[in-house]
Amino acid sequence: MNDVNGVNWRAEDLWLALEPLCPGLSIEVLPETASTNAALLERARLGDPAPCLMVAERQTAGRGRMGRAWWSKQGDSLTFSVGLPYAPQDWSGLSLAVGVALADALEPQPGTEPRLGLKWPNDLWLRNNDPSDLSAHKLGGILIETLMLPHAQRWLVIGVGLNIAAQPTHLPDTPFNTGYAGMQSLDTALDAPTVLHRLAAPLLQALQRFEHQGWAAFQARFAARDVLAGCIVQAGPSIQGRAAGTDHEGALLVHTASGIETIHSGEVSVRPC
């Protein structure tokens, strides 16, 4: 399907580019669904583990990390999921590696102060255009979920939500507590199909690289975009200190008054404070 609600997603062109990277891949573009992640997980549960890239112009029950809602509206955002069987030697750091792949695809030559930053463990942030102002606002997020299939096969679903509009035409009931950033702040000509075409192949290539080389292949590139590095952060109710990058497993290192604390993805919510 190429055209949905008058938008040309150029799905056939995208499939031609992606199928050699992921044989058997299908591409589906839906005008609306509850959650692309949930749809692909349910499909795998029902016995269809074929690789799929599913795009929704609007999600009515999109989810972020720790169950947070992710709103989307046609044209204002890009929401998609990739589902496929996956078997890396070590899963540690996968969400960070996905973030690196997306940021590098969207900003291939970042310079000394990248505008696209990564906030541990799964957010993309956009810094202001002024190099002297390093504040940033949330541009998008990543949600990774897995499912065990028969014969010990594991099914991976990577959900990506990216703001496209420089300013949304619809605000959710709750305010953006991290501020708002959209891809059109980088380039006013960008739209959701263009961004998807820019991201999809690098994401699949990164998954292949991670499967064979793990987090070590991405750690230095994450560090170059780490928006928390050197910041005072609050991790949960009791840990406060200065963020100091990641360890060999992708865990966040925090220098506190009592020493270095290691924070693992899924344990806590980490915010600059």
71 against 33, higher pLDDT: 33
Half-sphere exposure of 33 (CA within 13 A, CB side): 18
pLDDT of residue 174: 42
Structural tokens at position 13: 């062109």
Q: For the segment 247-261, what is each residue's pLDDT rounded down to a tens digit?
A: 999 999 999 999 999
Q: For the segment 36-85, what is each residue's pLDDT rounded down to a tens digit?
A: 999 999 999 999 999 999 999 988 876 554 445 455 566 789 999 999 99
Give me the torsion for CA of 222, 95, 202, 163, rounded to 10°: -90
CA-nearest of 195, 177, 185 to 123 is 177
Half-sphere exposure of 19 (CA within 13 A, CB side): 9
Q: For the segment 138-196, what is each residue's pLDDT rounded down to a tens digit?
A: 999 999 999 998 887 899 999 999 999 987 655 554 444 567 899 998 889 999 999 99
The domain ranges of the chain are 3-227, 228-273
Structural tokens at position 194: 């263009």
Q: State the average pLDDT for the chain.
A: 87
Judge if pTM exceeds 0.85.
yes
**Same fold for the pair 3-227 and 228-273:** no
DSSP 113-172: S-SEEEETTTEEEEE-SSTT---EEEEEEEEEEEEEEGGGEEEEEEEEEEE-SSS-SS--
pLDDT of residue 2: 67
Q: What is the mean pLDDT of residues 90-109?
A: 96
pLDDT of residue 236: 81
Structural tokens at position 240: 């406060």
Domain 228-273 has CATH 2.40.50.140: no
In CATH, which of 3.30.930.10, 3.20.20.80, 3.40.630.30, 3.40.50.11540 is domain 3-227?
Answer: 3.30.930.10
How far is Cα 9 from Cα 64, in angstroms, rounded to an integer? 24
How far is Cα 250 from Cα 71, in angstroms, rounded to an integer? 28
